[in-house]
Protein backbone atom coordinates (compact mmCIF):
# COMPACT_ATOMS: atom_id res chain seq x y z
CA UNK A 1 0.00 0.00 0.00
CA UNK A 2 1.11 3.56 -0.58
CA UNK A 3 2.03 5.45 2.60
CA UNK A 4 -0.58 7.72 4.12
CA UNK A 5 0.21 11.42 4.45
CA UNK A 6 0.68 10.96 8.21
CA UNK A 7 3.25 8.22 7.68
CA UNK A 8 5.00 10.30 5.03
CA UNK A 9 5.24 13.30 7.37
CA UNK A 10 6.67 11.06 10.12
CA UNK A 11 9.28 9.64 7.75
CA UNK A 12 10.31 13.07 6.51
CA UNK A 13 10.56 14.33 10.09
CA UNK A 14 12.97 11.53 10.99
CA UNK A 15 15.10 12.15 7.92
CA UNK A 16 15.20 15.93 8.27
CA UNK A 17 15.78 16.23 12.05
CA UNK A 18 19.30 14.81 12.18
CA UNK A 19 18.29 11.27 13.10
CA UNK A 20 20.75 10.08 10.47
CA UNK A 21 24.47 10.55 11.23
CA UNK A 22 26.03 13.42 9.29
CA UNK A 23 29.33 11.51 8.94
CA UNK A 24 27.67 8.64 7.04
CA UNK A 25 29.41 8.02 3.71
CA UNK A 26 27.41 5.06 2.37
CA UNK A 27 23.70 4.38 2.68
CA UNK A 28 21.45 1.63 1.35
CA UNK A 29 17.78 2.38 1.86
CA UNK A 30 14.29 1.31 0.75
CA UNK A 31 11.65 4.06 0.73
CA UNK A 32 7.98 4.24 -0.32
CA UNK A 33 8.18 7.41 -2.44
CA UNK A 34 10.66 9.65 -4.20
CA UNK A 35 9.96 12.37 -1.63
CA UNK A 36 12.03 10.52 0.96
CA UNK A 37 14.93 10.31 -1.48
CA UNK A 38 14.78 14.05 -2.19
CA UNK A 39 14.54 14.77 1.52
CA UNK A 40 17.57 12.63 2.31
CA UNK A 41 19.65 14.52 -0.22
CA UNK A 42 18.45 17.83 1.21
CA UNK A 43 19.27 16.76 4.77
CA UNK A 44 22.31 16.47 7.01
CA UNK A 45 24.17 13.75 5.06
CA UNK A 46 26.88 16.11 3.89
CA UNK A 47 29.52 13.35 3.71
CA UNK A 48 27.41 10.87 1.76
CA UNK A 49 29.32 9.55 -1.25
CA UNK A 50 27.35 6.37 -2.04
CA UNK A 51 23.57 6.10 -2.09
CA UNK A 52 21.79 2.88 -3.07
CA UNK A 53 18.05 3.47 -3.01
CA UNK A 54 14.95 1.47 -3.94
CA UNK A 55 11.82 3.58 -4.43
CA UNK A 56 8.36 2.07 -4.62
CA UNK A 57 6.52 5.02 -6.16
CA UNK A 58 7.61 8.07 -8.16
CA UNK A 59 5.06 10.87 -8.32
CA UNK A 60 5.13 14.62 -7.84
CA UNK A 61 5.32 15.14 -4.06
CA UNK A 62 2.84 17.46 -2.39
CA UNK A 63 5.57 18.54 0.05
CA UNK A 64 8.10 19.54 -2.59
CA UNK A 65 8.09 23.18 -1.54
CA UNK A 66 9.89 22.24 1.69
CA UNK A 67 12.76 20.55 -0.17
CA UNK A 68 15.62 22.21 -2.05
CA UNK A 69 15.60 20.33 -5.36
CA UNK A 70 18.22 22.52 -7.03
CA UNK A 71 21.19 22.13 -4.70
CA UNK A 72 24.19 20.45 -6.33
CA UNK A 73 25.44 17.19 -4.80
CA UNK A 74 29.21 17.37 -5.38
CA UNK A 75 30.14 14.74 -2.77
CA UNK A 76 28.00 11.99 -4.25
CA UNK A 77 30.19 9.58 -6.23
CA UNK A 78 27.99 6.50 -6.58
CA UNK A 79 24.21 6.49 -7.08
CA UNK A 80 22.02 3.43 -7.61
CA UNK A 81 18.31 4.07 -8.15
CA UNK A 82 15.74 1.31 -8.61
CA UNK A 83 11.98 1.66 -8.92
CA UNK A 84 9.43 -0.98 -9.98
CA UNK A 85 6.65 1.61 -10.01
CA UNK A 86 5.65 3.07 -13.38
CA UNK A 87 6.00 6.84 -13.45
CA UNK A 88 5.01 9.80 -15.61
CA UNK A 89 7.48 12.02 -13.72
CA UNK A 90 10.76 11.03 -15.36
CA UNK A 91 11.23 14.39 -17.07
CA UNK A 92 9.99 16.48 -14.15
CA UNK A 93 11.64 14.72 -11.22
CA UNK A 94 14.25 12.12 -12.20
CA UNK A 95 16.17 14.14 -14.80
CA UNK A 96 16.54 17.25 -12.58
CA UNK A 97 17.71 15.03 -9.72
CA UNK A 98 20.42 13.43 -11.85
CA UNK A 99 21.58 16.82 -13.15
CA UNK A 100 22.55 17.75 -9.58
CA UNK A 101 25.10 14.92 -9.35
CA UNK A 102 27.94 16.74 -11.07
CA UNK A 103 30.79 14.59 -9.71
CA UNK A 104 29.17 11.19 -10.05
CA UNK A 105 31.54 8.35 -11.00
CA UNK A 106 29.10 5.42 -11.02
CA UNK A 107 25.42 5.48 -11.94
CA UNK A 108 22.92 2.62 -11.93
CA UNK A 109 19.29 3.12 -12.98
CA UNK A 110 16.27 0.83 -13.16
CA UNK A 111 13.24 2.81 -14.35
CA UNK A 112 9.77 2.14 -15.77
CA UNK A 113 8.67 5.32 -17.54
CA UNK A 114 5.33 6.23 -19.09
CA UNK A 115 4.98 9.14 -21.53
CA UNK A 116 2.08 10.90 -23.21
CA UNK A 117 2.48 12.36 -26.73
CA UNK A 118 6.22 11.84 -26.61
CA UNK A 119 8.81 9.34 -27.77
CA UNK A 120 11.07 6.67 -26.33
CA UNK A 121 13.99 7.44 -24.06
CA UNK A 122 17.12 6.73 -26.11
CA UNK A 123 20.86 7.36 -26.11
CA UNK A 124 20.51 10.92 -27.40
CA UNK A 125 18.15 11.88 -24.61
CA UNK A 126 20.17 10.24 -21.85
CA UNK A 127 23.28 12.09 -22.94
CA UNK A 128 21.72 15.48 -23.65
CA UNK A 129 19.51 15.56 -20.55
CA UNK A 130 21.97 14.58 -17.81
CA UNK A 131 25.00 12.49 -18.79
CA UNK A 132 26.62 15.51 -20.43
CA UNK A 133 26.88 17.12 -16.98
CA UNK A 134 28.52 14.07 -15.37
CA UNK A 135 32.06 14.70 -16.55
CA UNK A 136 33.56 12.29 -13.99
CA UNK A 137 31.29 9.35 -14.83
CA UNK A 138 33.17 6.07 -15.30
CA UNK A 139 30.39 3.46 -15.17
CA UNK A 140 26.77 3.65 -16.30
CA UNK A 141 24.52 0.62 -15.84
CA UNK A 142 20.85 0.84 -16.70
CA UNK A 143 17.54 -0.68 -17.64
CA UNK A 144 14.88 1.78 -18.78
CA UNK A 145 11.49 0.83 -20.14
CA UNK A 146 9.42 3.50 -21.92
CA UNK A 147 5.70 3.08 -22.56
CA UNK A 148 4.26 5.68 -24.96
CA UNK A 149 0.61 6.65 -25.46
CA UNK A 150 -0.72 9.17 -27.97
CA UNK A 151 -3.65 11.33 -26.83
CA UNK A 152 -3.56 14.62 -28.74
CA UNK A 153 -0.85 14.07 -31.36
CA UNK A 154 0.48 11.06 -33.22
CA UNK A 155 3.83 10.56 -34.93
CA UNK A 156 6.08 7.73 -36.01
CA UNK A 157 8.05 6.15 -33.21
CA UNK A 158 11.72 5.20 -33.68
CA UNK A 159 12.49 1.68 -34.80
CA UNK A 160 14.70 -0.66 -32.85
CA UNK A 161 17.52 0.18 -35.28
CA UNK A 162 17.00 3.91 -34.64
CA UNK A 163 17.29 3.32 -30.91
CA UNK A 164 20.49 1.31 -31.35
CA UNK A 165 22.07 4.08 -33.44
CA UNK A 166 21.34 6.67 -30.76
CA UNK A 167 23.97 5.07 -28.51
CA UNK A 168 26.82 5.21 -31.04
CA UNK A 169 29.69 7.58 -30.37
CA UNK A 170 28.70 8.64 -26.85
CA UNK A 171 31.08 6.49 -24.80
CA UNK A 172 28.22 4.27 -23.69
CA UNK A 173 28.85 0.72 -22.48
CA UNK A 174 27.59 -2.08 -24.69
CA UNK A 175 23.87 -1.39 -25.08
CA UNK A 176 20.94 -3.16 -26.66
CA UNK A 177 17.26 -2.36 -27.10
CA UNK A 178 13.91 -3.96 -27.80
CA UNK A 179 11.15 -1.75 -29.24
CA UNK A 180 7.72 -2.73 -30.48
CA UNK A 181 4.55 -0.84 -31.42
CA UNK A 182 0.83 -1.43 -30.98
CA UNK A 183 1.29 -2.93 -27.54
CA UNK A 184 -2.17 -2.60 -25.98
CA UNK A 185 -2.90 -0.40 -24.07
CA UNK A 186 0.15 1.56 -25.29
CA UNK A 187 1.08 2.74 -28.78
CA UNK A 188 4.69 1.71 -28.32
CA UNK A 189 7.06 0.14 -25.80
CA UNK A 190 10.85 0.26 -25.72
CA UNK A 191 13.36 -1.45 -23.44
CA UNK A 192 16.94 -0.16 -23.39
CA UNK A 193 19.62 -1.73 -21.22
CA UNK A 194 23.35 -1.99 -20.78
CA UNK A 195 25.21 -5.27 -21.14
CA UNK A 196 26.05 -7.46 -19.40
CA UNK A 197 22.60 -7.23 -17.86
CA UNK A 198 23.09 -6.44 -14.18
CA UNK A 199 19.56 -6.66 -12.80
CA UNK A 200 17.51 -9.54 -11.44
CA UNK A 201 14.26 -8.62 -13.18
CA UNK A 202 13.08 -7.85 -16.72
CA UNK A 203 9.57 -6.43 -16.84
CA UNK A 204 6.61 -7.09 -19.15
CA UNK A 205 8.14 -8.71 -22.20
CA UNK A 206 5.80 -9.95 -24.89
CA UNK A 207 6.05 -13.27 -26.72
CA UNK A 208 8.01 -11.84 -29.65
CA UNK A 209 11.10 -11.10 -27.56
CA UNK A 210 14.10 -13.07 -28.83
CA UNK A 211 16.74 -11.80 -26.42
CA UNK A 212 18.66 -13.43 -23.61
CA UNK A 213 17.01 -15.69 -21.06
CA UNK A 214 19.77 -16.48 -18.61
CA UNK A 215 19.28 -16.00 -14.89
CA UNK A 216 16.36 -13.59 -15.17
CA UNK A 217 12.95 -13.45 -13.60
CA UNK A 218 10.41 -12.12 -16.11
CA UNK A 219 7.90 -10.01 -14.20
CA UNK A 220 4.37 -9.38 -15.46
CA UNK A 221 2.90 -7.91 -12.33
CA UNK A 222 4.91 -7.03 -9.25
CA UNK A 223 3.69 -5.92 -5.86
CA UNK A 224 6.44 -4.79 -3.52
CA UNK A 225 6.41 -3.62 0.05
CA UNK A 226 9.35 -1.36 0.79
CA UNK A 227 10.57 0.06 4.05
CA UNK A 228 13.61 0.27 6.26
CA UNK A 229 17.22 1.36 6.17
CA UNK A 230 20.40 -0.64 5.78
CA UNK A 231 23.70 1.05 6.52
How confident is the prediction along the chain (231 residues), in pLDDT tens digits per residue?
A: 344 444 454 555 555 555 566 788 999 999 888 988 888 888 778 889 999 999 999 987 666 666 788 889 999 999 999 999 999 999 999 999 999 999 999 999 999 999 999 999 999 999 999 999 999 999 999 999 999 999 998 889 999 999 999 999 888 889 999 998 876 678 999 999 999 999 888 776 655 554 554 444 444 443 332 333 333
Number of domains in the chain: 1
Which pTM does this prediction carry? Answer: 0.83
Residues 6+ apart with CB under 8 A from 129: 95, 98, 99
Domain around 50:
5-18+25-230
Do residues 187 and 116 touch, judged by C-beta distance below 8 A? no
Amino acid sequence: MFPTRKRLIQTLYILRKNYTPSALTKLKINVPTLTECLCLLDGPLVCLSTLIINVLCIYHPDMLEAIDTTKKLPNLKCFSFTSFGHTYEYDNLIVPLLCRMINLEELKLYLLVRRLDSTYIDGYQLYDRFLIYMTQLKKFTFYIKTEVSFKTVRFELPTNEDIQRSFIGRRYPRVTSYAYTQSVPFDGVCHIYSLPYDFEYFVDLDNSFQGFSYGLIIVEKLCTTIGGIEQ
